[in-house]
Amino acid sequence: MLMLKTIDLNADVGELPADCNLDAQLMPWLSSCNIACAAHAGSERLMRATVQLAKQHGVQIGAHPGYADKKNMGRVAMQLDDVALRTLIIEQVALLARICAEEGVPLRHVKTHGALYNQSARDARMARIISEAIRDFSPELIVVGLAGSEHINVAKSCGLMVMEEVFADRRYEHDGSLTPRTHAQAHIDNEQEALQQVLALVKEGRVKSREGQWLNLHADTVCVHGDSPHALAFARLLREQLAQHQVEVRA
């Protein structure tokens, strides 16, 4: 079958308890993954095990730094000064980079987590501090951020490569931001609705907002939330349907 389009399929991993087998089941269906760096979730031991899992399945590896707040899983916004924010990013990326080097696999990208992701999507100052920290650590790293966001624009201005990310199971506001998790309609629980959202984003470059407006968004990578109850079944369905629509999944 001739594939007319390509898309990356990613998930945030290394966030669940070490004895949970979901990451291992999900990994074969991904082309890239974002590994928690022991701040908002995970541990150095779990990071290494997840790196080994990604290596086994040929999945590209990215760092997933977040606020050092395991109680709230990094989902509560904080206000750090510039130095503290830069240190937060560099220390977490450096830890995963060391583990990757020891395991003989490259670290390819960085995607911030939770509140840090959402804040930097709209706050140019935060986006610049994060982007400059990543660039200073390694200008070869790709920044993964919310499609059309300040983080993407600032990362580009810093000379970094970017991947614009869209979401399979989250609703969008009219301005292209994600509907806050606290909103009753933030998540898409229906698999067919989520599938149609992905196909519209990948094939048409657009998404319907929660308010019913069509928004133009460029998609380089689609995130499937690995901690959702139906993550594995949906990842399988998504791969199957993308192939049927002549879309190849690859990093």
pLDDT, tens only, 85-104: 999 999 999 999 999 999 99
Query: How far is residue 90 CA from its own chain's centroid?
Result: 18
Domain range spanning residue 136? 5-249
Which CA distances in Å does 174 have to 85, 177, 182, 232?
29, 7, 17, 29
Average pLDDT on 157-173 reads 97
Spatial contact of 166 and 188, defined as CB atoms under 8 Å apart:
no
- On the question of pLDDT at 134 being above 80, the answer is yes
- On the question of pLDDT at 107 being above 80, the answer is yes
Average pLDDT on 121-148 reads 98
Q: What percent of the chain has pLDDT over 70?
A: 98
CATH code for position 119: 3.20.20.370
Pairing of strands 206-208, 214-216: antiparallel
Spatial contact of 147 and 166, defined as CB atoms under 8 Å apart:
yes
pTM score above 0.85: yes
CA 105 – CA 100 distance, rounded (Å): 5
CA 168 – CA 195 distance, rounded (Å): 7
| pLDDT at 2 (0 to 100) | 57
User: In total, how many domains does the chain have?
Assistant: 1
Model pLDDT for residues 225-238, shown as the tens digit of each residue: 877 767 889 999 99
Tell me which residue of 139, 26, 129, 29 sits closest to 84, measured CA to CA: 129
Q: What percent of the chain has pLDDT over 90?
A: 91
